[in-house]
Chain A
């Protein structure tokens, strides 16, 4: 080595603790949880969501009446009539019980497609993003075609052509949500893929699957999860919309969208009772929306 020592040869001191403050180190998800717990609004709406889900699950135990029991004399009665807290519908069935039972179908039709679409769209997006090139073009251009339909239209088209019904409706909604989900996952993956730590992982000799599992998924999960949570509310709205058009469950099964549709004939008799299923949809949708907003904020930690 030449004589000129440009840098004063400061020997490496072992364990130089560069004034590291003793902070508790939380993992990403721990800090998200911490922030969520301290966000009062989100905690409140989260509790609401929980209650709504619970009331649907526990409907058989909570419902005061049999939701299918018709009554010729007790049709379209106002709220509070003979113990019917929320009145009765056009066939004399108890509204409260039907709303509780209806929540089961409505929530199921709203949530299941989001779960399926998250798995399928997320996987497609990660594949497209990580493989890049022709695979990416192929997948993403196909998605663009489905993107070219307004979502309501696509849902109506598919489930309408398939003849309606609950499972067709869920299938249609899944297909509607796969493209946007795929896009979110693809964008996140493409961003991550360009970062050096992926190269570093490849430099250790790790295979594609190992890299995706250890290094890609952890970074893609956040955005995908945020997006999925925001889809739930959209999905509940769309699902009840399909039922409203007669593309969901068949009568006499209780479902919020379908109830709204059949009660529409009776708005001149008991307007308030007729609007109730819509209130249920609205409240559920808004609670999911606000929880999703809170989640988005809590997960927006710079890392």
Chain B
């Protein structure tokens, strides 16, 4: 981590100081009840705890359907959590003594996965960008001014692109507009839900670089969701790996990529396409479909697809254990006392 990447000067809105995590997430849970399934539910996010540090980019990876978007929406209270708490810069969200959801949304914003449906098709994009500041109390003219400014900041000429409708923009341009829209309300934290997964490689690189430049310029903190390990490695400071609604591993990016601990993380790394033979691992890539999130496997959720699965894994659920250096993972093999035959060999 180069010192340039850290934010040296603190935001005037900062309350807790540099050491206070910007966002603390504790035991966040959200189950979606299924109609006609007799009270059963999709366990989209099932007890998730982590911190987002000030000024960092926290990458979140996981397969499709593991609950990444649900997590992102929970962080902004766009859907209500069933349980758990959020603490934003020391203030609990939506609690009697904390800050309101509205206050949270003044400081945190989101860029959505689908760049197409996240812009109103009947609105010129400059109005979409201006909507946020307008709602948060700026007069119309000022909001327009901010929108022009933000469009320019994301590399779109406001005179040329501002009056256009979403269908008149390319995917990359739409995603730039989405970024401008998220930044128009001057947030401190931005949650980016797969912001580049719909773009082709060259545009992807441009948008990623834009995001880094903007982060530096505006002192932002990112939660960056992706299913692409390469993208996450490029952009993140720390990486969180999710599997079926739970965290399986979390740690600094270099640690995760050089010493992945959880079999799932290793399998994910092995599944990425790579031309470099040195980067290939012994690990078999993830195979098969993920299990049904309505009835996730007992014990360790990954055991049905894990090469090291033992009877123990079906009966007891592994806890997240610390490996030092802020690296944690949830696997019986990492816990010498667990009774797994490979326990201790890995740590």
> What is the interface of chain A, defined by CB distance below 8 A to chain B?
1-2, 4-18, 20, 23, 25, 27-28, 195-197, 199-206, 210, 214-215, 218-219, 302-303
Kindly identify which residue among B78, B152, B231, B257 contacts A199, using a CB–CB cutoff of 8 Å: B78
**Are A218 and B122 interface neighbours, CB within 8 A?**
yes
In angstroms, how far is the closest chain A Cβ from the Cβ of B152?
7
**Are B185 and A9 interface neighbours, CB within 8 A?**
no
> Closest A-chain residue to B111, C-beta based?
A200
> Whole-angstrom distance between the alpha carbons of A218 and B121 in the complex?
9
Is B253 among interface residues, defined by CB-CB distance under 8 A? yes
Beyond the given A7-B208, A199-B110, please list 5 additional residue pairs across the A-B interface where CB-CB is below 8 A. A12-B206, A196-B112, A199-B112, A303-B165, A303-B167
**Are A206 and B234 interface neighbours, CB within 8 A?**
no
> Whole-angstrom distance between the alpha carbons of A249 and B254 in the complex?
84
**Are A205 and B209 interface neighbours, CB within 8 A?**
no
> Whole-angstrom distance between the alpha carbons of A250 and B92 in the complex?
70
In angstroms, how far is the closest chain B Cβ from the Cβ of A94?
50
Kindly identify which residue among B1, B112, B122, B135 contacts A303, using a CB–CB cutoff of 8 Å: B122
**Are B157 and A17 interface neighbours, CB within 8 A?**
yes
Report if A18-B173 is in contact (Cβ < 8 Å); known contacts: A25-B163, A195-B118, A196-B113: yes
Report if A2-B254 is in contact (Cβ < 8 Å); known contacts: A199-B78, A205-B135: yes
> Whole-angstrom distance between the alpha carbons of A219 and B123 in the complex?
10
Most chain A beta-carbon contacts within 10 A, residue among B122, B152, B208, B254: B122
Interface string of B146-181 (1 = CB under 8 A from A): 000000100111001101111110101100001001
> Whole-angstrom distance between the alpha carbons of A11 and B212 in the complex?
10
**Are B78 and A7 interface neighbours, CB within 8 A?**
no
**Are A203 and B109 interface neighbours, CB within 8 A?**
yes
Chain A to chain B contacts (Cβ below 8 Å), 20 pairs: A1-B237, A2-B233, A6-B230, A7-B205, A12-B206, A14-B152, A15-B156, A17-B160, A20-B161, A25-B124, A25-B163, A27-B124, A196-B118, A199-B78, A199-B110, A199-B118, A203-B109, A204-B109, A214-B123, A219-B121
Collect the chain A residues with CB atoms within 8 Å of residue B132's CB. Answer: 204
**Are A197 and B135 interface neighbours, CB within 8 A?**
no
**Are A205 and B106 interface neighbours, CB within 8 A?**
yes
Collect the chain B residues with CB atoms within 8 Å of residue A200's CB. Answer: 110, 112, 118, 178, 181-182
**Are B210 and A12 interface neighbours, CB within 8 A?**
yes
* Chain B interface mostly: helix
In angstroms, how far is the closest chain A Cβ from the Cβ of B117?
4
Collect the chain A residues with CB atoms within 8 Å of residue B233's CB. Answer: 2, 4, 6
**Are A218 and B120 interface neighbours, CB within 8 A?**
yes
> Closest A-chain residue to B127, C-beta based?
A214
Collect the chain A residues with CB atoms within 8 Å of residue B172's CB. Answer: 18
> Closest B-chain residue to A303, C-beta based?
B121
In angstroms, how far is the closest chain A Cβ from the Cβ of B130?
11
Is B292 among interface residues, defined by CB-CB distance under 8 A? no
> Closest B-chain residue to A24, C-beta based?
B163
Collect the chain A residues with CB atoms within 8 Å of residue B122's CB. Answer: 28, 218-219, 303
**Are B163 and A11 interface neighbours, CB within 8 A?**
no
**Are A210 and B205 interface neighbours, CB within 8 A?**
no
> Closest B-chain residue to A5, C-beta based?
B234
> Whole-angstrom distance between the alpha carbons of A1 and B236 in the complex?
8
Collect the chain B residues with CB atoms within 8 Å of residue A196's CB. Answer: 112-114, 117-118
Is B11 among interface residues, defined by CB-CB distance under 8 A? no
In angstroms, how far is the closest chain B Cβ from the Cβ of A190?
14
Is B76 among interface residues, defined by CB-CB distance under 8 A? yes
* Chain A interface mostly: loop
> What is the interface of chain B, defined by CB distance below 8 A to chain A?
1-2, 5, 73, 76, 78, 102, 105-106, 109-110, 112-114, 117-124, 128, 131-132, 135-136, 152, 155-157, 160-161, 163-168, 170, 172-173, 178, 181-182, 185, 204-206, 208-210, 213, 230-231, 233-234, 237, 253-254, 257
> Whole-angstrom distance between the alpha carbons of A1 and B178 in the complex?
26
> Whole-angstrom distance between the alpha carbons of A215 and B121 in the complex?
9
**Are B73 and A199 interface neighbours, CB within 8 A?**
yes
In angstroms, how far is the closest chain A Cβ from the Cβ of B93?
13
Nearest 10 A-B pairs (CB), nearest first? A196-B118, A204-B132, A7-B205, A218-B122, A196-B112, A195-B117, A205-B105, A206-B135, A303-B121, A6-B234
**Are A14 and B205 interface neighbours, CB within 8 A?**
no
In angstroms, how far is the closest chain A Cβ from the Cβ of B111?
9
Kindly identify which residue among A20, A203, A214 contacts B105, using a CB–CB cutoff of 8 Å: A203
Collect the chain B residues with CB atoms within 8 Å of residue A6's CB. Answer: 230-231, 233-234
Report if A302-B128 is in contact (Cβ < 8 Å); known contacts: A7-B205, A14-B152, A196-B113: no
> Closest B-chain residue to A11, C-beta based?
B209
> Closest A-chain residue to B184, C-beta based?
A204
> Whole-angstrom distance between the alpha carbons of A73 and B229 in the complex?
96
> Whole-angstrom distance between the alpha carbons of A131 and B231 in the complex?
38
Report if A14-B113 is in contact (Cβ < 8 Å); known contacts: A25-B168, A205-B136: no
Collect the chain A residues with CB atoms within 8 Å of residue B102's CB. Answer: 205
Kindly identify which residue among B5, B135, B209 contacts A12, using a CB–CB cutoff of 8 Å: B209
Collect the chain B residues with CB atoms within 8 Å of residue A210's CB. Answer: 135
**Are A14 and B155 interface neighbours, CB within 8 A?**
yes
Collect the chain B residues with CB atoms within 8 Å of residue A204's CB. Answer: 105, 109, 131-132, 135-136, 185
Collect the chain A residues with CB atoms within 8 Å of residue B182's CB. Answer: 200
**Are B78 and A203 interface neighbours, CB within 8 A?**
yes
Kindly identify which residue among B1, B119, B213 contacts A1, using a CB–CB cutoff of 8 Å: B1
> Whole-angstrom distance between the alpha carbons of A56 and B224 in the complex?
64
Report if A16-B167 is in contact (Cβ < 8 Å); known contacts: A1-B5, A7-B209, A204-B185: no
**Are A302 and B112 interface neighbours, CB within 8 A?**
no
> Whole-angstrom distance between the alpha carbons of A197 and B160 in the complex?
22
> Whole-angstrom distance between the alpha carbons of A249 and B74 in the complex?
60
In angstroms, how far is the closest chain A Cβ from the Cβ of B3?
11
> Closest A-chain residue to B79, C-beta based?
A199
**Are B136 and A202 interface neighbours, CB within 8 A?**
no
Collect the chain A residues with CB atoms within 8 Å of residue B117's CB. Answer: 195-197
Report if A8-B109 is in contact (Cβ < 8 Å); known contacts: A195-B117, A197-B117: no
